[in-house]
Amino acid sequence: MTIHLPKVNQFGGGNGGGGGSSSFPTIVTDSGSSLPVDLSGFEWQDTFLNTSDKKIYKAKADGYELNTNAEIYTITTTPLTIDYSSGVASGFALYYGSGGYQLTCLLKKRLSSDFAWAGEKEYKIHFKRNSTGSANIRYLLFATASKVSYSLTKYIGVQIINSKLYISEISGSSEDVAPFMLVDYELEANKEYYIKLSKKSNGKIETTIYENGYDQTMLATNIVDNQIEDITPMSATETTLWCGAFWRGTDNSLGIGFNGDIYLLDTTGDFLKASSELSWDSGTSITDKTEYADKTNGALYLYENSELVKIPQNKIFTDVYANSWVADSTYADYGYKCEITNLNGVTSNMFAQVIFAPAQADSGNYATVCLTGNGTVTIYSKVNDTISIPSIVVMGV
C-alpha cells in the first residue's frame, strides 16, 4: 500500500527516469547570502531565507489598517478595539436591543467562496482568553457565514464552552447542528493559543492546538466526524468571515462575544494590511531535516546536521490547479490520475515534488509519487475533486 512519506523524503525517480514524491517544504519568498536592506520589492509578510546565518526573516510593518472588504461592525457607542501597532483585536460583544441580541462589536470580511464550508478547508485562529468565563455560556470565537438564499444565511461557528472548543451550525432562527466538541482540551485564561482547524474531504474535522506558534509546541489534537454538511453560497461573493462573534438571535442562548484578544495578523481572513514601510523581524532559525523552497529564484534547499545545501536546476510552479481527473489503475489504492499540463521546461528526465496544501497532504487521498513528462506532471488520487496545489518543485537529474 502506498503511504505518505515524512516531511523530508529521499530523492528517487519513477519508472523510466522521470518521477517524484509528494511532500511540502517550507516555502519562502526569496533567499540569499545576505538580508536585503531595500525592501521595496517585498510585500508585507514576505519571507527571506538568509543562507549565511540560517534564519528565515519575515517582512513586518510598524502599523496596520483594515484590509479591503474588512470592517468593524457595531451598533453601540462602544466599538471594537484594534491595536493597529500589534494587530490585536479585543472588546467583542453582543448587545441586547429591541430586536433581540444584535451583532455589535466584531470584525467581518466579505470574501469569495474560498472560505465557504465546502470541500477541503483550513482555518487558523490565534487568540488569548481574558478569563475562563461562566459555565455553559458559549463564547463565539470565529465563523464562516454563507448566504444560501436571499432570506437565509448559514453560520458555521467555532465556540468555547466550558473552556473547550466546539463547533455548530446555525441558520435562520434555529440551530441545525448542535455544538459538538472538536478537541477535549481545557483552554486556560491569559494564555495564547494557536488553533488549526482542517475540514477534510473524507468527512472529518481535524483540530490541533499549539502554543508558541503554529506547528510549534502541540498541546492537543483530535479528529472527529464532520456532522455539518457542505454549504454552497448563493453566489461566489456571498461568504463572510466573522471574528469574535457571529450570531443574531432572540436571546443569548446561542452565544455571546468572545471574552479575550484575537491576534489578527496570523488569523485566517487577512483582516489587516500594512500601512507603513516594511522592515525585517529578528528572524527564526531554520529547522533540521527540513526542505525550503524559494519561489522567486526556483531554488530548493535541504538543511540537515547544520548544513544547508542548495539543490540546483529547479523550477517552481505555484497555484496549480488539478481538475482533469480520469480513472486509472496504475496504483491499486488510488483510482484516479490527473495530468497537469503547461509546465514549461519540464521533461521526463526531471524529478518533481508536489507540495499539496496541508489539508490535502493530511487527508491520505493523494499518492506520494508523481510522474514527470514533457511539460507535464501526473499525480494520483483516491478522489477526483478539483484542488489548488500551492507549489510543484521540479528538479533536473
pLDDT tens, residue by residue, 242-263? 888 876 555 567 788 899 999 9
Q: What is the mean pLDDT of residues 263-285?
A: 92
Q: How many domains does the chain have?
A: 2
pLDDT band at 2 (very low <50, low <70, confident <90, very high): very low
Q: 188 and 318 share a domain?
A: no
| Region for residue 91 given its phi and psi (left: phi exceeds 0; alpha: psi -120 to 50; beta: otherwise) | left
> What does the H/E/C string look like for 60-129?
EECCEEECCCEEEECCCCCCCEEECCCCEEECCEEEEECCEEEEEEEEEEEECHHHCCCCCEEEEEEEEE
Q: Give the CATH number for residue 81.
A: 2.60.120.200
What pLDDT was estimated at residue 6?
33
Per-residue pLDDT at 146 exceeds 60: yes
Nearest to 31 by CA among 51, 1, 13, 55: 51
Q: C-alpha 208: how far from its chain's center? A: 12
Q: 245 and 330 share a domain?
A: no
Full residue range of the structural domain in which residue 297 is found:
15-60+284-396
pLDDT digits (tens, 9 = 90+) for 306-333: 999 987 556 789 889 999 999 999 999 9
Residue 7 lies in a domain: no
The backbone torsions φ and ψ at residue 232, rounded to the nearest 5 degrees and listed phi first, read: -105, 120
Residue 237 lies in a domain: yes
Q: Please identify, among 274, 305, 338, the residue that sits at the C-terminal boundary of a domain.
A: 274
pLDDT band at 377 (very low <50, low <70, confident <90, very high): very high
Residue 326 lies in a domain: yes
Per-residue pLDDT at 130 exceeds 70: yes
Residue 155 lies in a domain: yes
Percent of the chain with pLDDT over 90: 54
Nearest to 15 by CA among 315, 351, 367, 394: 351
Dist CA 100 CA 253 (whole Å): 11
Q: What is the mean pLDDT of residues 293-318?
A: 84
What pLDDT was estimated at residue 373?
92
pTM value is: 0.66
What pLDDT was estimated at residue 10?
30
Per-residue pLDDT at 16 exceeds 50: no
Residue 5 lies in a domain: no
Residue 279 lies in a domain: no
